[in-house]
Structure 1
Amino acid sequence: MAKYIIRYGAMRFLGVFSARAKDEYNRDDQVIIRTKRGLEVGDVLCEATDEAVKQLSDPAFGSIMRAMSDEDLKQTEHMVGDAQREVETVRRVIGEMDLPMQLVDVEHLFGGERIIVYYLAESRVDFRELVKALASELQTRIEMRQIGVRDEAKLLADYGDCGKPVCCNTHLSEMPPVSMRMAKLQKATLDPTKISGRCGRLKCCLRYEYDTYEELQRDLPPIGSDIVTNSGRGRVLNHEILAGQLLVRMEDNRNIMIDASDVLTVLKRGNGQTGGGSKRGKRRDKKEAAEESGENTQSNSDTPKE
């Protein structure tokens, strides 16, 4: 029995799904699958080899019911039309009850047995009466799901500053923590308007090359190190990490750029801080890194209440 990795749902979940005997599927085939939530439409990504499954974190499991038919496609198009009316209904009822929550999106599962309401709220909301009212109006099971601003972008955003579709709505299955330290190490501009994504948080792409920068930086003498080079003694002022170069102040106060391979020996390793690295500066950097990491880590209270 073949197994496939399939992407499904508005939140673009990934799961391992078993096909029926003799059924075979190719990448980008649309299929009807059964998940814990019910019947859903999914996109085949690849075969679920051992190596591919290892790349998934806590994948869902289920079964592939069939390839998507013309009738299934018509039903999906009909559901898309219904979704807008459902959004208006949910927004109206929330307004009538004056609940402290912001509607983000509504997902109607293929089988019709469940509607999932995604919303933003600063604190927990008692929406028991809301669920009763919506279930009565929409005649189906209602699931409320509180999300964070990064998930809001995942649901609603289209294109990023780079001109390409936003990563969270394309290839990212998990949104990694991103900190200002990553931007500093890569010498990106620290202008918040230029390094923030559609969600208002630091861009996920700052995470992509960070590990490479860290690995390359480990091979360089830390900033503040006293070194001996082919041109004499000096102190490291800065790094050009990708180029493998150092900005060095020589004993005659000249600032020169040298290759890291020109360093003969390190007399005294620096602390890695520019400008001497005061204790106050170190505390500020640690606090800033912790705050940025905390703010940009996905920490949504996704406990459904029905």
Structure 2
Amino acid sequence: MDLKANLDNNKIQMDTDSHFTVPASLQKQYNNYILENLVLNNKEGCLHCGNEIDSSKLLDNRKIVEVESFGLLGHDFCLCNSDFILTEDEYVIVKFNEAIEFAKVKNVGKIVKIRRYIMGLNGEELPVVLRQATEEDLIQNETNFKNASNARPTFEQFVKEENLNMKLVNIHYQFDRKKLFFFYTSDGRVDFRSLAKKLAGAFKTRIELRQMGVRDEAKLIGGVGYCGREFCCTSFIHNFKRITTEIASEQNISSNLSKLSGPCGKLKCCLAFELD
């Protein structure tokens, strides 16, 4: 079997077996709906308020694609300075700060311009697509995934030895293997200095332990919300806003916390959309 097909079938290209993503066919249907019914929106953050371009805003005409990766890159926009043409579901190598990461192209072309316009993004510094992934890159990514998965028992053993209160969420090998990331949640701050030394000795690379909040955990794992759509945090939210019950009160929405809370247990991010 072709390695790329093997990656797709086993869904290991993104570093975790617990991550949920919306099927590509549904995502394409949604994108096509936007392209057929909207030129561009005249109000930032609104998908249903007209189909005219707001001339007061400038489109970002750089060659930009939308990608998905794990580690610190996550779901992001990337600049493509080279002449090669990228297509959806293609694998690429991305430079993110000083790191080299493996990613999958999610959206290209006009839909990316529309999404960035809606989000008010223009001209900011972006990660850069270095090249299309080669067969060797696909093999390296699969190796990284397997090694990261195999690191879980060692991590859990060391955590038990150190008597630390940590819940492991994900493990990620940077594509160039210069760092190994352990993402975890905890009720409080954790002194993991001794743990980090043990992990560095076991895996012979730089170790980074990253504490996550419950919203970050939901963003990483993914899923479908009560509305029937993919989590907003997974699909397009880059920075979390502070959500309060006052936001619901201003919209005359029920103050029942069970109805206002998302699967992560926090107030739904979408409560702020109407105010935006």
**Contact 1:33 1:65 (C-alpha < 8 Å) held by counterparts:** yes
Equivalent in 222, 227, 250 of residue 162 of structure 1 = 227
2:147 maps to 82
Q: 1:43 to 1:202 in 2, by over 3 A?
A: same
1:149 maps to 214
**Contact 1:118 1:147 (C-alpha < 8 Å) held by counterparts:** yes
Alignment RMSD, CA only? 3.0
Bigger Rg over Cα: 1
Tell me the SS of whatever aligns to 1:150: helix
Tell me the SS of whatever aligns to 1:91: helix
Equivalent in 71, 84, 93 of residue 32 of structure 1 = 93
1:31 partner letter = V
Tell me the SS of whatever aligns to 2:151: helix
1:144 partner letter = L
1:263-291 per-residue CA deviation (whole Å, 9 max, x = no partner) reads xxxxxxxxxxxxxxxxxxxxxxxxxxxxx
**Contact 2:95 2:127 (C-alpha < 8 Å) held by counterparts:** yes
- TM-score, reference length from structure 1: 0.59
Q: 1:136 to 1:13 in 2, by over 3 A?
A: same
Distance (Å, rounded) in 2 between the aligned partners of 1:24 and 1:74: 22
Q: Does 1:73 align with 2:152?
A: no
Distance (Å, rounded) in 2 between the aligned partners of 1:144 and 1:10: 11
Tell me the SS of whatever aligns to 1:136: helix
Paired residues, number: 209
**Contact 1:15 1:59 (C-alpha < 8 Å) held by counterparts:** no
Tell me the SS of whatever aligns to 1:105: strand
Q: Does 1:17 align with 2:82?
A: no
Q: 1:192 to 1:62 in 2, by over 3 A?
A: closer
Q: Unpaired segments of 5 or more residues in structure 1?
A: 212-306
1:70 partner letter = E
State the percentage of identical aligned residues: 31
Tell me the SS of whatever aligns to 1:201: coil
Q: Does 1:4 align with 2:64?
A: yes
Q: 1:60 to 1:165 in 2, by over 3 A?
A: same
1:150 partner letter = R
1:273 maps to none
Distance (Å, rounded) in 2 between the aligned partners of 1:108 and 1:137: 14
Q: 1:92 to 1:56 in 2, by over 3 A?
A: farther
Structure 1 runs of 4+ aligned residues shifted over 6 Å read: none
Q: 1:3 to 1:151 in 2, by over 3 A?
A: same
**Contact 1:10 1:155 (C-alpha < 8 Å) held by counterparts:** no
Tell me the SS of whatever aligns to 1:65: strand
Q: 1:57 to 1:154 in 2, by over 3 A?
A: farther
